[in-house]
Amino acid sequence: MAKPLVALLSGAGISTDSGIPDYRGPNGLWRRDPEAEKLVTYEYYMGDPEIRRRSWQMRRKNRALAAEPNAAHRAVAELERSGVPVRVLTQNVDGLHQVAGMPARKVLELHGSVRSVVCTACHARGPMEDALARVEAGEDDPPCLECGGILKSATVMFGERLDPLVIGEAVAISKACTMFLAVGSSLQVQPAAGLAQVAADHGARLVVVNAEPTPYDDLAQDVVREPIGTALPRLLRDLAAEHSG
């Protein structure tokens, strides 16, 4: 892979304009409601059929599947189309970067994707829509069609480790980039947050776009506190203009 010019780490803040709440943050649903957190905790999910049934009902109501990309997602895709080499490293599981037009091969989903399911036994994958159709048809805990194993969302649950291959590729991109944009991320969840440090250590220009202060603001050349939906498109248009010039 050619060395990327721009690495963009996106967190929950980039998707709130699309109507997706921040579940994982310090004030997110999973932290406020221990019972809700159990629905996305691997140990409980695997050990309790009732938890799985409730999880499937929660997925039926998940707004991420119906959400549309917002101006920030579209701006990232437009930057890539302008010819600037871009790699997206996202903590989000909503798939909105790809829906907005970013090529899937240029998006690393650090925490997986809510748009797919995976079998915990044989690791077969399939579309979430197909599994939800089975739930709608009356299966309250649909098993894997390949082996009968337990199906789960292809997201990283509490108690699961991130894919080391994905993290390895994210580190390589962070080392290679010349600019690292951290957008809508509190930069508090490791190892994703540490990618900003890796990029800075390897000479990248670090830009933080986030409503609240982050632990990496002191490392950043630029810190932007304005709303992401207006600030990011402007930043990326300027970047594209610099590149074309």
97, 111, 123, 243: the active-site residue: 111
d(CA 209, CA 226): 8
- Buried-state track 171-180, b at ≥16 Cβ within 10 A, e below 16: bebbbbbebb
Cis-peptide, bond into residue 191, ω within 30° of zero: yes
d(CA 177, CA 203): 9
d(CA 150, CA 52): 9
Which regions of the chain does DSSP assign to beta strands (E)? 6-10, 86-90, 107-109, 112-119, 125-127, 151-155, 179-183, 205-209, 222-224
Which residues does residue 151 pair with via DSSP β-bridges, in sequence order? 119
**CB-CB contact of 204 with 179 (8 Å):** yes
The yes-or-no answer on residue 111 being catalytic is: yes
C-alpha torsion angle, residues 35, 37, 42, 43 (rounded to 10):
-40
CB atoms within 10 A of CB 19: 12
Positions marked active-site: 111
